[in-house]
């Protein structure tokens, strides 16, 4: 996460959650700098992220979706409101983070 290659938001427990991508957030809870060289961002369960030769493929077993944006660096802001996770991305010159702990959202 500190290199800006991935963002994990710890939700505290397994389950289904509603995620909404919005243009901007008022009073965001926080933000994560991300590199998006392909213009595609996978939003979904951590176990469905890239790794070990596996990629999210859009099949029915993958819990999530792809969000297409222009390639570049972004600040992904987040907040939870009434049980819904809201995400907004804005272009940024930054691409690295300085986290010392996990991000935990209260759902």
Burial class (CB in 10 A: 0-12, 13-18, 19+), 15: exposed
Domain ranges of the chain: 20-46+63-98
Where residue 5 falls among pLDDT bands split at 50, 70, 90? Answer: confident
Model confidence at 82: pLDDT above 70:
yes
Q: Which pLDDT belongs to residue 77? A: 96
DSSP 67: E
CA atoms within 13 A on the CB side of 9: 22
- The answer to whether the beta carbons of residues 93 and 73 sit under 8 Å apart is yes
Q: Which pLDDT belongs to residue 74? A: 97
Give residue-wise pLDDT tens across range 18-36: 889 999 999 999 999 999 9
The partner residues of 88 in beta bridges, in order of sequence, read: 77
Q: Which pLDDT belongs to residue 90? A: 96
Enter the pTM of the model: 0.82
């Amino acid at each position: 996460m500190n290199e800006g290659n991935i963002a994990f938001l710890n939700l505290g427990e397994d389950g289904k959650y509603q995620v909404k991508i919005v243009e901007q957030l008022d009073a965001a809870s926080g933000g994560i700098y991300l590199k998006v060289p392909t213009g595609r961002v996978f939003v979904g369960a951590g176990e469905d992220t890239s790794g070990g030769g596996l990629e999210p493929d859009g099949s029915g077993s993958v819990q999530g979706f792809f969000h297409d944006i222009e390639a570049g660096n972004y600040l992904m802001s987040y907040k939870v409101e009434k049980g819904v996770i809201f995400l907004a991305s804005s272009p940024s010159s930054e691409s690295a983070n300085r986290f010392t702990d996990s991000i935990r959202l209260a759902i």
